[in-house]
Structure 1
Amino acid sequence: MGVPLRTIGQILPELQRDYPDVTVTKIRYLESEGLVSPVRTDTGYRKYSTTDVDRLRYILRLQRDNYLPLKVIREHLEQMDAGENPAPPVPAAPTAQPTTKSAPVRRVIRMTRKELLRRSGLRESVLVELERQRLVVPRHGTVHFGQEALIVATAAKKLSSYGMDIRHLRAIKQAAEREAGLIEQAVAPYPQQSPSGREATRDVANLVVRAHAALVHSILDQR
């Protein structure tokens, strides 16, 4: 009896043990790019064989350790699929860093809850509700609040004078979550813990935020 096929939800935890950043979105992206081809059931569900999982591991390792673009990985896999024995792809050379100009350093803000209240001007009860709705949260892994929390808290204070409350901020958060999902999908081909992955995430996020702001202003101008 052969090894049973597994769903994407069953293979994901196994892959995440070695590649914590891999997601369902990334696996599906690799499939859409033709790098892996799981079978489909009559109802359309993907089913992965042991060979498929090994192939995914190989692709993820080439991305993580060699920083290779998908184009190079695809060509390498096509040679293997054709029965050839190609040499392992050469790791991508690191991008030269300019020596005459340093990249701008982002100042990290670390505030206590008391400091956040003072700087934003929020009432305690409003901050409690913002925290309950996960609209204002501490920096990951800490009890301190950062720049993003201050921006949201200050905006909440000012928007209240225009009659906008927590309910409206929840709608803004939902839109932000959808945009974050689009960004994650766009940068899925990049190893997320690599310099190129972090740079791509920042770049796409900045472009999405700028496009969003421009579209909002454009829509309002046309009304």
Structure 2
Amino acid sequence: MVLAHAEHSGPRVLNIGEVLAQLSDDFPTMTASKIRFLEEKGLITPNRTPAGYRQYSENDVERLRFVLSLQRDQYLPLKVIKDYLDAIDRGERPENLPPGVKVSPRIVSDEFAAEMTGRVRALTEEQLRTESGASVPLLQSLLSFGLIQHSNGRFDEHALQVAKACVQLESHGLEPRHLRPFQAAAEREFGLVERAVSPLSSRRDAASQARAAEAAREISELCLTLHRALVQDRIARMDS
């Protein structure tokens, strides 16, 4: 659970004037209207009293620092910054954060804070089996067909997602040997995405890298939408 967005914690509640006071040294031009604007854009979500008054937490202040720093120092658009925060709120590592950008532990869970400081979550085979529900033979097959990989015997979150999906597919009679086309399709799709964003990704500045990452995610989602529509079209024809 992400503390900054889903649930405020800690004893101190701040009003908007106190928030401005905390930010004033680093962001002297910050105003109450700018804070409300960022709230309208979904970048912060303060609690409200029954009467509708905003109640800010220290976590909200840290989110604002994160947003304002990326705007000021990296010249990033709010949409890109919101993508970063959305990833954090989902418990994920934001992709292609600009070099040197730190994510405060106050705006993430303890587990994710550890990941952001370089201690990436790594699962043993036993943990992977337990969390995915996969059997030993299934995991062995996933490894042999290249659907999951490990580093020094440890698996990442992507391997966990693949294993979970394959457990469900196995219940429908689809084994890892049947799923190799997905790996080939993923590699082809990545090639398309990589080629499409290469004009941006070839640049070394942080803003271009962030826009390349945003474009890559958008293209990938469009590819998945296209794939789903094509498959559903063929399924619909089964009934006709």
TM-score by length of 1: 0.50
Instruction: Specify the structure having the higher radius of gyration (Cα).
Output: 1
TM-score by length of 2: 0.46
